[in-house]
Amino acid sequence: MKYVIIGGVAGGASAAARLKRIQEDAEIVIFEKGEYISYANCGLPYYIGNTIEDRKKLFVQTPVSFGNRYDADVRTLNEVLSIDRANKTVKVKNLRNGKEYEESYDCLLLSPGALPIVPPLPGIDLPHIYTLRNVPDCDMIKQRAIEQLRDGAAAVIIGGGFIGLEMAENLQRIGYQVTVIEKAPHVLTPLDYPMAAIIQKHLQDKGVKVVTETALTGFTEKDGLLEVQTDKGGAYPCDMAILSIGVRPNTQLARDCGLEIGESGGVKVDAYMRTSDEAIYAVGDVIEFPHPVTGKPYCNFLAGPANAQARIAAMNMVYPESVRYSGSVTTAIAKIFELTAASTGLNERHLKQQGLSYQTVITHPAPFATYYPGGEPMHIKLNFNPETGRIYGAQAVGKLNVDKQIDTISLLLKHEGTIFDMINTEHAYAPPYGSAKSPVMFAGMVAENIMSGMMNPIQVEELDELLDKGEEIQLVDVREIQEYKTGTIADAENCPVDELRELMEDLDPEKKTVVFCEVGMRGYVAYRILKQSGFTQIYNLIGGMKTYRLIGKHNRG
């Protein structure tokens, strides 16, 4: 059996390795347009920032070492120009000598990845405008960064996604003044605003200029520098600009040979990673696949799912319809200076687009036992179905143990888990590593309180909307007097929770009442006291003052 694979890195190389492990006599030919077959794509920003100093460490395998280990014919700098499905051949151009030739196949795997989005704007072809998708891109950015490094050297990142912010950190780390320009209302759009606001403030505290709700309109040159122009009229002079505004599936080969393209723009595959042609499979950034929660197709540009798909495709290429793919819930993570930001599943924007009813909780748990030294609170946001409790998505930001929480929720999410499953998770516990109630359990418990009617929540945005309208609200700050004096919301009264049973005589039980504390726990205790004392319209502010300080509009202090 002869297998031809178009594209290396996460998808193609992983599939080739798996093919050889399950079928030793397989004939495998890998075509890779670039020079490298297997490298650490996600490590490129850290090489630019000198966190990874040795360039060789970026390469998992060389074409020679990979070919020797897996008895594969690895042809780098060979570009596949077209696919002839009827005759089961591909037309290839050797980029070293320009010669074209044909290669036959019995089974074909498409893994050409994605292409960076480069908008056709004025000045887009000027020097020193880069994208970061591969090793040559990385080398050009690294060389420019070294050559231009001086006092006042500046870089502009267009796009505040995970990769854009990783680049912002690493360029600043080596001495650049960095500006991030984001078209959306906040950076890190996979996160909802309350979580993204934490990252945005952290970037600014670290000296990165963040410009949001601003679109790129073009580039010019002035006084020897590149100028980034925006729709707000501002111009940002810099030594280099990096486009990080997204990618699109590289579907040209698939389109040209008539393979079916799905509604979200990727190659349509079935659960066995098979395209509309039974002899052709596809994996990685080029495909679309139904989301496990919504059931609607979407494109997912992550290395983890690409590796999983490659293993499944290889099995099915040898043993057809033997292993099914369950889809990806888009679990992602990034280090941004001293913080970690992670997400899984659907955020509020996607939930609204899909017309799904949802509820949200925000918690601020410690990463381990509060009495154990060295911990700072993390921030978790959970989106779930208020009727069934099914988990829709979650986000977390913090310094420690963020990955642990998101990975746990991601696993539950992929298996149609609920907030009740979160409560019932079992975790390793000792004071240096966690708490008896893990952050995942705690978020699930808060969600259960809402579902069971034990607590009526109000979000920061909802409270601000009421205050903006001038609606009469009884705001009750149940923190201690010393905390209250550091700042509160609008005209809130201070009724410390431990004295609330005596002080509530001064409150009106018929008036709409919002209680709040620092993170929500004391607010919940106060809510239960007042609810069972005859207060009819009572709410607990989700996330408390810690969240309100970040995104609220009626701070007083």
Task: Please give the distance of CA 292 from its chain centroid, rounded to a whole number.
Answer: 17
The tokens describing 355, both together, are 């017309």
Q: Which two tokens stand for residue 37?
A: 């077959």
Distance CA(313)–CA(92), nearest Å, equals 23
CA pair distance 444, 372, nearest whole angstrom: 23
DSSP string spanning 57-117?
GGEEE-HHHHHHHHT-EEEETEEEEEEETTTTEEEEEETTT--EEEEE-SEEEE---EEE-
CA distance 524 to 465: 22
Distance of alpha carbon 483 from alpha carbon 487, whole angstroms: 7
CB 541, CB 514: distance < 8 Å: yes
pLDDT in tens, the chain (557 residues): 999 999 988 899 999 999 999 999 999 999 999 999 888 889 999 999 999 999 999 988 888 998 999 999 999 999 999 999 999 999 999 999 999 999 999 999 999 999 999 999 999 999 999 999 999 999 999 999 999 999 999 999 999 999 999 999 999 999 999 999 999 999 999 999 999 999 999 999 999 999 999 999 999 999 889 999 999 988 999 999 999 999 999 999 999 999 999 999 999 999 999 999 999 999 999 999 999 999 999 999 999 999 999 999 999 999 999 999 999 999 999 999 999 999 999 999 999 999 999 999 999 999 998 899 988 999 999 999 999 999 999 999 999 999 999 999 999 999 999 999 999 999 999 999 999 999 999 999 999 999 999 999 999 999 999 999 999 999 999 999 999 999 999 999 999 999 999 999 999 999 999 999 999 999 999 999 999 999 999 999 999 999 999 999 999 87
